[in-house]
A and B are shown apart, each in its own frame.
Chain A
Amino acid sequence: MIKAKINNIDIEVPEGTTILDAARKVQVKIPTLCKHKDLLPTAACGLCIVKLKNSPKLPRACATPIENGMEITTHDSELFEVRKSVLELILSNHPNECVTCGRNGTCELQDLAADFSIREDKIKRFVRDIPIDNSNGSIVIDFRKCVKCGRCIEVCQDIQNVWALSFLERGINTRMAPAGDISLKDSPCVKCGQCSAHCPTGAIIENDETETVWKALRDENKYCTVQIAPSVRVALGEAFGYPPGTNLTKKIYTAMRRLGFKAVFDTNFSADLTIMEEASEFVERFAHGKGALPLITSCCPAWTDFMEKMHPDFIDNFSSAKSPQQMLGVMAKTYFAEKMKIDPAKIYQVSIMPCTAKKYELERTDEMHASGFMDVDVALTTRELARMIKQSGVDFNELPDGEPDSILGEYTGAGTIFGATGGVMEAAIRTAYNFVTGKNMPAFNVEAVRGMKGVKEAELEVAGHKIRVAVAHGLANVEHVLNKVREAKKAGKELPYHFIEVMACPGGCIGGGGQPYGTDDDLRMKRAKGLYNEDGEMKIRCSHDNPEIKRIYADFLGKPLSGKAHDLLHTHYKARPIYQR
Chain B
Amino acid sequence: MSQSSTITPNEKSDIRKEVAQHVSNWKGEEGNLIMILHAIQNQHGYVPREVAMELSREVGVTLGRIYEVLTFYHYFKLVPPGKHNISVCLGTACYLKGAPALINEVKSQLKVEEGGTTEDHEFHLDVVRCIGCCGMAPAMTVDGRTCGKVKPEDISKIIAETKSA
Contact = CB atoms under 8 A, between A and B. Distances in A.
A163 B68 CA distance: 11
Contacts of B49: 180, 581
A166 interface: yes
A103 B5 CA distance: 37
B75 interface: no
Nearest to B68: A166
A168 B67 contact: yes
Nearest to A170: B72
Residue from B2, B68, B70, B72 with most neighbouring chain A CB atoms (10 Å): B68
Nearest to B66: A180
Contact of A180 (B4, B5, B52, B72): B52
Contact of A168 (B4, B53, B62, B71): B71
Given A157-B64, A166-B64, A180-B63, 11 more contacts: A163-B63, A163-B64, A167-B68, A170-B71, A179-B62, A181-B1, A181-B2, A181-B67, A182-B2, A188-B62, A579-B53
A179 B52 CA distance: 11
A497 B78 CA distance: 45
B65 interface: yes
A321 to B, nearest CB: 31
Interface in B45-73: 49, 52-53, 62-68, 70-72
Interface in A181-197: 181-182, 188
A163 B66 CA distance: 11
7 contacts: A157-B64, A168-B67, A170-B71, A179-B67, A180-B2, A180-B52, A180-B67
Contacts of B62: 157, 163, 179, 188
B2 A166 contact: no
B5 A179 contact: no
Contact of A163 (B1, B52, B53, B65): B65
A181 B64 CA distance: 9
Contact of A179 (B4, B64, B72): B64
Contacts of B66: 180
Interface of A: 157, 163-170, 179-182, 188, 579, 581
A581 B4 contact: yes
Interface of B: 1-2, 4-5, 49, 52-53, 62-68, 70-72
A579 B67 CA distance: 14
B71 A169 contact: yes
Contacts of A164: 64
B64 A169 contact: no
Given A180-B49, A579-B53, A581-B49, A166 B5 contact: no
Contacts of A167: 68
B64 to A, nearest CB: 4
Contacts of A165: 64
A169 B72 CA distance: 5
Contacts of A157: 62, 64
A81 to B, nearest CB: 30
A167 B72 CA distance: 9
A179 B72 CA distance: 14
A180 B62 CA distance: 10
A579 B55 CA distance: 13
Contacts of A166: 64-65, 67-68
Contacts of A581: 2, 4-5, 49
Nearest to A167: B68
B72 A579 contact: no
B68 to A, nearest CB: 5
What 4 pairs between A and B have smallest CB-CB spacing?
A180-B67, A163-B62, A166-B64, A163-B64
B139 to A, nearest CB: 23
B55 to A, nearest CB: 12
A123 to B, nearest CB: 20
A262 to B, nearest CB: 46
A579 B2 CA distance: 13
Contacts of B53: 579
B65 to A, nearest CB: 7
Contacts of A170: 71-72
Contacts of B72: 169-170
B9 to A, nearest CB: 15
A168 B67 CA distance: 7
Contacts of A182: 2
A181 B70 CA distance: 12
Contacts of B1: 181
Contacts of B68: 166-168
Most buried by A among B52, B53, B64, B70: B64
A165 B67 CA distance: 11
A17 B66 CA distance: 34
A59 B64 CA distance: 31
Nearest to A166: B64
Contacts of A168: 67-68, 71
A432 B150 CA distance: 81
A206 to B, nearest CB: 22
B72 to A, nearest CB: 5
Nearest to B70: A180
Contacts of A179: 62-64, 67
> Max chain B CB contacts within 10 Å: which of A163, A164, A168, A180?
A180
Nearest to B50: A581
B142 to A, nearest CB: 25
A188 B63 CA distance: 10
Contacts of B52: 180
